[in-house]
Structure 1
Amino acid sequence: MELTKLLRNSNFTYSLSLTLVCCLSLLFMVACSGENNTSVISKVEPETEEVVANEGARVETRSTEALGAYLTDAEGRSLYIFEGDTAMQSNCYDDCAAAWPPFLSEGTAEAGVGVEAAMLGAIKRKDGSTQVTYNGMPLYYFIKDAEAGQTNGQEKEGFGAEWYLLTPKGEKVHAE
């Protein structure tokens, strides 16, 4: 009898209807925001895209007449060292890491042709991710290198120190 009285009350019916609509709307939004939704991903500009290596990041080499041989990832994107780092220690976080994304791996990094496997290593970053190192130095991308073969970060100064490409021998690249 009390339930019938409650259902006849217009305030209660309105509140119940509103709650049902909200719950169904929320359920619909959750269902539509699954991992297969690529509409947001397609709008990400390359300059703001976070670069993350998957399992077993691979380090390769590339060579130019002006720079000689230097390290890249498997797709040919240049890898840099930061003179503000120390051996096995990254000092590039926050704004620095936004401009110079760390070269990360979820597994053991692999050495490509011309890369010395014994020089490859890894460190744990403050956020728990694993950053690939070479000759003890953490490796980074430069956000303004939009495609393979670009070396826009070479000999740049930023975040308190200079940035350099690295040779397969583990030395800084200097333009000739």
Structure 2
Amino acid sequence: MKRLGSVIAALVLGLAGLTACGGDDSGYGSAPAGTASKAPAAAKLATADVGDYGKIVVDGNGRTVYVFDKDTSGTSNCSGDCLAKWPVVAAGAGTPQLDGIDASLVSTITRSDGSKQLAIKGLPLYLFASDSQPGEAKGQAVGGVWWVVGADGQKITTKPGASGNGYGY
């Protein structure tokens, strides 16, 4: 009988432990002890002088952002393998923080998976996976369909020059 009581006690403690590890829809309960889960921070966009392209739009880490010619206003056509090379600029929570960009140019689109992506003049924004640090624009003109974006929201179609802003492959 004593053994049965021990087994039941172990099961109860095990279930309690599993329940404590599970999250709930509040966003809390899955964070490590001593920390609180937070909603993703608001996205940041700014401008920076990059290569021969002048002042272009960059993300909060200073990485160059791009638009894709196959997208239409408000709709992303980059999915699957495309997203591995061209990750989205996630919208985060709240109003994006902008530095050097007119707020009227920036919006958010809802992707087919329900996630939110930042857009400029309605066109979704992406990063290029091969741009590993601020100041790189290796994605410029890739496939003739990926372009950096000027501070005015217009894509810049200048081809990469010999100044180190080449294709990166």
Higher helix share: 1
How many correspondences in the alignment?
Answer: 146
Cα separation, 2, equivalents of 1:127 and 1:144: 24
Partner of 2:94: 107
Q: Is the 8 A contact 2:51 2:135 kept in 1?
A: no
Of the structure 1 ranges 166-175 and 94-103, higher mean CA displacement relative to structure 2 is found in: 166-175
1:172 aligns with: 155
Which residues of structure 2 form unaligned runs of 5+? Answer: 22-29, 34-39, 162-169
Residue of structure 2 equivalent to 1:90: 76
Q: Quick one: which amino acid aligns to residue 118 of structure 1? A: S
Q: 1:29 to 1:93 in 2, by over 3 A?
A: same
Which whole-Å deviations, capped at 9, do the CAs of 1:29-72 have from their partners, x for residues lacking one?
9989x6449xxxxxxxxxxxxxxx732x1110011351111100
Q: 4+ residue runs of structure 1 moved beyond 2 angstroms?
A: 20-32, 34-37
| Larger CA Rg, structure 1 vs 2 | 1
The answer to whether the 8 A contact 2:89-2:126 is kept is yes
Q: Which residue of 2 aligns with 1:117?
A: 103
Q: With structure 1 as the length reference, what TM-score do the two structures score?
A: 0.67
What's the offset of the Cα at 1:24?
A: 8.5
TM-score by length of 2: 0.69
Q: Percent identity?
A: 31
**Does the Cα contact within 8 Å between 1:54 and 1:104 map onto a contact in 2?**
no
| 1:86-131 deviation per Cα after TM superposition (whole angstroms, max 9, x unaligned) | 1111111111112111111122223212x11110011101111111
Q: Which amino acid aligns with 1:103?
A: V
- Unmatched runs of 5 consecutive residues or more in structure 1: 1-6, 8-12, 38-52
Aligned amino acid, residue 41 of structure 2: N
Q: What root-mean-square deviation, in Å, do the aligned CA atoms of Structure 1 and Structure 2 show?
A: 3.0
